[in-house]
Structures are given as C-alpha cells and as structure tokens.
Amino acid sequence: MIDALVAGRLYGNAEERKGQADSVYVTCKVRAATDDGDLIFCNVIAFNDTVRDALLALSDGDSIALSGALTPKVWTDKQGNTRPALDLIAHAVIAVKN
C-alpha cells in the first residue's frame, strides 16, 4: 500500500453500491495526467460517509483530489499492450466543481 494524493478529473459519474451486510460504498474513476502528458485512470472506492457524499455530488469532468491507500496495477488491452492503472481506497477528498 502506498499513501498517495491523486488529482485529476472525474471520469463518468460516481456510483453508490451495496456490499455484504448492506454496507454502502461509492466507486468512480479519476483521469489523471502523468509527467509525460499521458493519461492514467485511477479506480476509486470510498467507504467513509463524507468522502462518499462528496463523490456523489460531483459530475463527469469535475476536478478532484483524493488521498488514500494506492495500489499500482497493470492490465492488458485488446491489442495485447500492457497499461498501467491505479486502485485507490479514498480516505479524504478535495473537490472543486467546474
């Protein structure tokens, strides 16, 4: 686990979901720019009530910064190319609506 701060734009809208024992969580994707100008997607999950509410109040394209536990991943696209991805368990959010 890496303690991280990820900043970018919300990609799509956040979605509220129910897990085991009726626990509620929110998932979303954040599109962030890398140093070389490429974009990377960060898959976000939030369990904290305040963070969940903040994510649900945002819309596609809104600017956002999240801190939490980050796990780097790699996935393979349809052409067989490996691509980086990030998974973040969000603990705090800073959001600025456009």
Q: Is residue 82 part of a domain?
A: no
Whether 78 shows a pLDDT value over 90: the answer reads yes
Residue span of the structural domain in which 47 resides: 2-70
Between CA 75 and CA 77 the distance in angstroms is 7
Residue 84, domain member (yes or no): no
Q: Per the confidence metrics, is the pTM higher than 0.95?
A: no
pLDDT at 93 over 80: yes
Assess if residue 77 is contained within a domain: no
For residue 93, is it within any domain? no
We report the CATH number of the domain holding residue 12 as 2.40.50.140
Instruction: Say what the pLDDT of residue 28 is.
Output: 98
For 19-58, the pLDDT digits (tens) are 888 899 999 999 999 889 889 999 999 999 999 999 999 9
Instruction: Tell me whether residue 79 is in a domain.
Output: no
Distance CA 8, CA 75 (A): 20
The verdict on residue 15 lying in a domain is yes
The pLDDT, as a whole number, for residue 98 is 59
- The structural domain count of the chain equals 1
CA dist 29 → 20, 21, 71, 87, 92 (Å): 22, 25, 14, 9, 15
Average confidence score pLDDT of the chain: 93
Checking DSSP bridges between strand 63-76 and strand 2-18, what pairing results, if any? antiparallel
